[in-house]
Amino acid sequence: MANPYNTGLDRNPANYQPLTPLGFLARTAANYPNATAIIHGELKISYQAFYNRSRQLASQLAKQGLGRGDTVSALLANTPAMLECHYGVPMAGAVLHSINTRLEAATIAYQLDHAEAKVMIVDQEFLSVALDALQIATVSPTLIVYRDPEWATSSEEGAATQYPDYEAFVAQGDPSFSWLMPDDEWDAISINYTSGTTGNPKGVVCHHRGAYLLALGNVFTADMPKYSVYLWTLPMFHCNGWCFPWTMSAICGTHVCLRQVREVPIWQALHEHKVTHLCGAPIVMDIILSGTHRVLPDKVAFFTAAAPPPERTLANMQQAGFEVTHLYGLAEVYGPAVVNEWHREWDDLPGDQQARLKARQGVRYLPLENLDVFAPATMMPVPADGKTLGEVMFRGNVVMKGYFKNPDATALAFEGGWFHSGDLAVKHPDGYIQLKDRSKDIIISGGENISSIEIEDVLYKHTAVAVAAVVACPDEKWGEVPYAFVECADGQNVSEDELKAWCSQHMAGFKVPKHVAFTAIPRTPTGKIQKFQLRNKVKP
Amino acid sequence: MANPYNTGLDRNPANYQPLTPLGFLARTAANYPNATAIIHGELKISYQAFYNRSRQLASQLAKQGLGRGDTVSALLANTPAMLECHYGVPMAGAVLHSINTRLEAATIAYQLDHAEAKVMIVDQEFLSVALDALQIATVSPTLIVYRDPEWATSSEEGAATQYPDYEAFVAQGDPSFSWLMPDDEWDAISINYTSGTTGNPKGVVCHHRGAYLLALGNVFTADMPKYSVYLWTLPMFHCNGWCFPWTMSAICGTHVCLRQVREVPIWQALHEHKVTHLCGAPIVMDIILSGTHRVLPDKVAFFTAAAPPPERTLANMQQAGFEVTHLYGLAEVYGPAVVNEWHREWDDLPGDQQARLKARQGVRYLPLENLDVFAPATMMPVPADGKTLGEVMFRGNVVMKGYFKNPDATALAFEGGWFHSGDLAVKHPDGYIQLKDRSKDIIISGGENISSIEIEDVLYKHTAVAVAAVVACPDEKWGEVPYAFVECADGQNVSEDELKAWCSQHMAGFKVPKHVAFTAIPRTPTGKIQKFQLRNKVKP
């Protein structure tokens, strides 16, 4: 028999509208027009102005002929212009392509071509590299230059004046422009390129539905009340700033922009603007804790990802008044989609136990429907024993549409109806997952899997080690053996034998690196260690 | 040219899952198995147990042959069983039909027949009326009786033992049952019947998508952090308890059940369980404030709807430690979908100004895409002048699927692509809407529209008036004139002339009631005033 609840009860415009985070801004601008949306140096932008400027930008893009499915590239620091792009670009129906400002010209050119950029908005600081990229690229996007008052006038000024000015461009726009809702919530809102530690970068396409849901998910993860104040220590070009450009509009929050992540301006902002939340890689915590020690009057929430926060850093952060939460994610899941949900009773544990619990990546975000660790061969979950390695897989509404113009990579990533992260992890008895390695970074020695991260963790605990990276080295007898590369801390010294002895004390013998080399470790422009270069070094 | 972002980037199980609030419970049970989900008298139910019991209920319903599109009716007080129904019923693919426990047998029978109930779960307190209803009804649902330990054994006991026991029924179920995700997020999750102040009740069908979104919307409206404690002073049969049964699972919150809304148990719960949030009609505030005056140690958030909170009540609630927020909605929009968003700076205003601002219904909920006041004839928004009357209309994802088996009423409700609320309101210059009347309650006198609510408001301000209801009375000269019905407050007395003089002081002459009658005012079993009965009384 037919389900009677499906008869004559169809979707119509009254009861079905595409989910999009753009509506958050419209709503808050209507309800709190005078609330401060953005602080940037001396500049304060109200929600009414933020909404109007976003619509002006959208109307100008539309005037340029841009519409649904066209790409607007942004090479911008954490500035009001970058926030406006997160609304103005999709309000024109277009797709926002944020570019990592640390990239070199060739990679930028590759992205511009692949994304078929129609317009490129560039901060004056990065104009020179942008022009170099445009020399290489096939596409010729319209170039618009953002001259940030917080950026000192420099030698670029002469070159910049020949390109349209962002402020002038926006000023010509229509502040009451009827912006475009997506045709469908599945429409693309952004494209972000992977950093390409392995070959060509892939264009991760995100949609309005996922951006809406992850933006709201952040509020749950971060327990963010209305009027929260968010400091931009995380680059907005990273996975759309983990969707926080949209989150803040949902709660009438304030963005505090920051061009450069340095100790003094961070502490200044924390005190002056009563910041409540900020995000960043562990390096940001080191920056915060460097220099004169300061203490916060009120608790501030810090969200970190990329690597487990070390115990000492955690303790120092706590002492300074920060509450640190560990997140995990990838561009393919809109930024963070896994959170180390903290149990109140864990507060009473000793510091080292807290650090061990906090090192785990955790559990699924509220808007992620499923997260598990699978044996890739069988697609069966690994036992929750904290030991068996498997691949982290995601399923849910905050997983990307797919890779742009790359059906093979897309099909591979979604094989079996789950997104394959390429990260290896164990599942603890309480269901929390913990990363052990990238699948390609695992070392198989005498049939045993060795996690390179596990060895690196031990090396990092040695006071003389500043940076450590371990890769598989081909070996006649064992197949592969661990090979460690180490950068020593300033003024510190340690020998190969000392480090091997150190490792022997802390791990099974077969895991101890057979070789230790002291050398500068190669990184991508985004700061990720390029293990493939190290692998090339150890090839026979 | 085709949009390149729509090519080869389709929905698949990895990146698209139906939105449903059921997943909130699964997630919190996995992450916080030992956290307290429900408190009911001496009983404490953990999230693991709550989830297991919901799955047991679902598995048992499935064993009875129930599945997608089947209706399970619940005639229950605010008990754990009612919370379990909000998960267990849809986990079997079925649709939850909550019945107002104050209804008489004939109306219950009508609903059971119309909804085609397959199973009926009844609290022992309401068994007698349920049996009466089943005598009248055509359908013969399987009857299951919930014997609440918090409900004293009564004379019903003998009759009850012949029907299956809810606890025994659940106990036979499978706690690891693989519950059914909806086939589509548009699938029905619940049906709630309107109170039928005008003719036959209509069955409002809600879907998983809307329930998910409104449940999350509550967290934004109520600024609810993780671990919030919610006291059930609002009947769960009202619009699924405004979706709070689902909201609390999203934030690992605790439900404090309450069979009866009385002063002492409310204050007991507030203190003993450190309640943070509760909801209810203005009458609940009166109950809270009655008797010995008590003060809360911490701020507690109270959400009220149905009528604007009077100034005196607001002041007393604030003094006792409550923060009152005014909401507005209907069953057709999942409960509350409009909120009187409060601006921080309004805290500094004098009490009467605060009350005036708080009396306005406000602005759209975060997950409601659009709210406006239209001139129904033209479907054009009325000017935001605080004066021009129009009909409140809703558009968005928290609007119902439609009325069950009632295509005509559904089409009428959604005419022009907006949901027509039937409520008349003005829009203030800041965009906040304020209700003035139900469209059928407006009085048209000499061509002027008179709001019956406006007159009632003035009457309520007179200390001798306990209840006031104004309707249109046919009049040879004016077409219609206002006719007021009044119940006097205990021990108070007032004459018709005195009340007319009172009105003359506070409104334009043409609005002053031409007649005032002192009489008991008829109400529906849910407590709504039946104006159609009063209208019948004044017919010539």
Domain membership flag for residue B11? no
Tokens 């079905």: give the residue: A16
A453-499 tens-digit pLDDT: 888 888 988 989 988 999 999 888 787 899 999 999 888 889 999 99
Domain membership flag for residue A421? no
| pLDDT attached to residue A440 | 72
Is B104's pLDDT higher than 80? yes
For B107, the domain range is 22-280
Q: Give the closest of B24, B363, B410 to A8, CB-based.
A: B410
Q: Give the closest of A12, A225, A343 to B417, CB-based.
A: A12
Domain membership flag for residue B428? no
Higher model confidence: residue B279 or residue A450? B279
**Cβ count near A471 (within 10 Å):** 23
| The domain boundary residue, chosen from A280, A309, A330 | A280
Is B500's pLDDT higher than 80? yes
Residues of B in contact with A370 (CB under 8 A): 17
B300-335 tens-digit pLDDT: 999 998 777 777 888 889 889 999 999 999 999 999
| pLDDT attached to residue B45 | 98
Average pLDDT over residues A384-391: 94
Strand duo B390-395 + B419-427: pairing: antiparallel
CB contact under 8 A, A414 and B12: yes
Higher model confidence: residue A200 or residue A31? A31
**Domain CATH number, residue B470:** 3.30.300.30
Is B214's pLDDT higher than 80? yes
Instruction: Kindly indicate the confidence band of residue B196, based on its pLDDT and cuts at 50, 70 and 90.
Output: low
Give the 3-state DSSP-derived string for A242-273, with helices as H, strands as E and coil as C: HCHHHHHHHCCCEEECCCCCCHHHHHHHHHHC
Residues of A in contact with B417 (CB under 8 A): 12-14
**What is the total count of domains within chain B?**
2
Measured between alpha carbons, how far is B58 from A104 in angstroms, rounded to an integer?
Answer: 57
Phi-psi sector, A436: left (phi>0), alpha (psi -120 to 50), beta: alpha
B119-154 tens-digit pLDDT: 999 999 999 999 999 999 999 999 999 999 998 765
| pLDDT attached to residue B442 | 78
A259-312 tens-digit pLDDT: 988 999 999 999 999 999 999 988 888 889 887 767 888 899 999 987 777 778
Tokens 């007032």: give the residue: B494
Residues of B in contact with A364 (CB under 8 A): 27
Q: Give the closest of A2, A9, A370 to B402, CB-based.
A: A9
Domain membership flag for residue A472? yes
Q: Considering Cα of A100, then A103, then A109, then A113, what sign does the dihedral take?
A: negative
Q: Considering Cα of A75, then A81, then A84, then A88, what sign does the dihedral take?
A: negative
CB contact under 8 A, B15 and A414: yes
Instruction: Kindly indicate the confidence band of residue A49, based on its pLDDT and cuts at 50, 70 and 90.
Output: very high
Query: How close does chain A come to B511, measured CA to CA in Å?
Result: 32
- B422 in Cβ contact with B335 (< 8 Å): no
Is B202's pLDDT higher than 70? yes
| pLDDT attached to residue A160 | 57
Q: What angle do CA B520, B521, B524 make, to 5 degrees?
A: 130
Mean per-residue pLDDT of chain B? 92
B427's enclosing H/E stretch is: strand B419-427
Query: Residues of chain B with pLDDT > 70: what percent?
Result: 96
Instruction: Kindly indicate the confidence band of residue B199, based on its pLDDT and cuts at 50, 70 and 90.
Output: low
| The domain boundary residue, chosen from B219, B254, B280 | B280
B485-497 tens-digit pLDDT: 999 988 888 999 9
CB contact under 8 A, A15 and B188: no
Q: Give the closest of B10, B205, B219 to A5, CB-based.
A: B205
| pLDDT attached to residue B392 | 96
Is A31's pLDDT higher than 90? yes
A190's enclosing H/E stretch is: strand A188-193
Residues of A in contact with B89 (CB under 8 A): none
Average pLDDT over residues A75-97: 98
| pLDDT attached to residue A291 | 75
Strand duo A335-339 + A322-330: pairing: antiparallel
B395-416 tens-digit pLDDT: 999 999 999 999 999 999 999 9
Domain membership flag for residue A143? yes
A150-201 tens-digit pLDDT: 987 655 555 557 899 999 999 999 999 999 999 999 999 999 998 655 557 8
Per-residue DSSP letter, B326:
E
| The domain boundary residue, chosen from B263, B280, B297 | B280
| pLDDT attached to residue A474 | 87
Query: How close does chain B come to A94, measured CA to CA in Å?
Result: 10
CB contact under 8 A, A14 and B419: yes
Domain membership flag for residue B408? no
Domain membership flag for residue B6? no
The torsion angles phi and psi of B473, rounded to 5 degrees, stand at -115, 130
Query: How close does chain B come to A130, measured CA to CA in Å?
Result: 24
**Domain CATH number, residue B150:** 3.40.50.12780
Instruction: Kindly indicate the confidence band of residue B440, based on its pLDDT and cuts at 50, 70 and 90.
Output: confident
Give the 3-state DSSP-derived string for A1-63, with helices as H, strands as E and coil as C: CCCHHHCCCCCCCCCCCCCCCHHHHHHHHHHCCCCEEEEECCEEEEHHHHHHHHHHHHHHHHH
Residues of A in contact with B419 (CB under 8 A): 14-15
Residues of A in contact with B366 (CB under 8 A): 24, 27, 250
| pLDDT attached to residue B297 | 82
Measured between alpha carbons, how far is A513 from A494 in angstroms, rounded to an integer?
Answer: 15
B229-261 tens-digit pLDDT: 999 999 999 999 999 999 999 999 999 999 988
Poorest-confidence range of A23-32, A505-514, B70-79, B177-186? A505-514
Burial of B325: CB neighbours in 10 Å, binned 0-12, 13-18, 19+: buried
- In angstroms and rounded to an integer, the radius of gyration of the C-alpha atoms of chain B is 24
A333-380 tens-digit pLDDT: 999 999 999 999 999 999 889 989 998 999 999 999 999 999 978 899
Query: How close does chain A come to B421, measured CA to CA in Å?
Result: 12
| pLDDT attached to residue A171 | 98
Is A44's pLDDT higher than 90? yes
Is A532's pLDDT higher than 60? yes
Q: Give the closest of B17, B223, B396 to A17, CB-based.
A: B396
Query: How close does chain A come to B523, measured CA to CA in Å?
Result: 31
Residues of B in contact with A15 (CB under 8 A): 210, 395-397, 399-402, 414, 419
Which residues are CB-contacts of A497 (< 8 A; sequence separation ≥ 6)? none
Residues of A in contact with B405 (CB under 8 A): 4, 7-8
Average pLDDT over residues B15-33: 98
Poorest-confidence range of A351-355, A397-401, A442-446, B26-30? A442-446
| pLDDT attached to residue A431 | 96
Average pLDDT over residues B198-215: 90
Domain membership flag for residue B374? no
Question: For residue A404, which of B69, B316, B161, B8 has the smallest C-alpha distance?
Answer: B8
Output the six-digit token pair for A48. Answer: 């009414």
Query: Residues of chain A with pLDDT > 70: what percent?
Result: 96
| pLDDT attached to residue A199 | 57
CB contact under 8 A, A397 and B17: yes
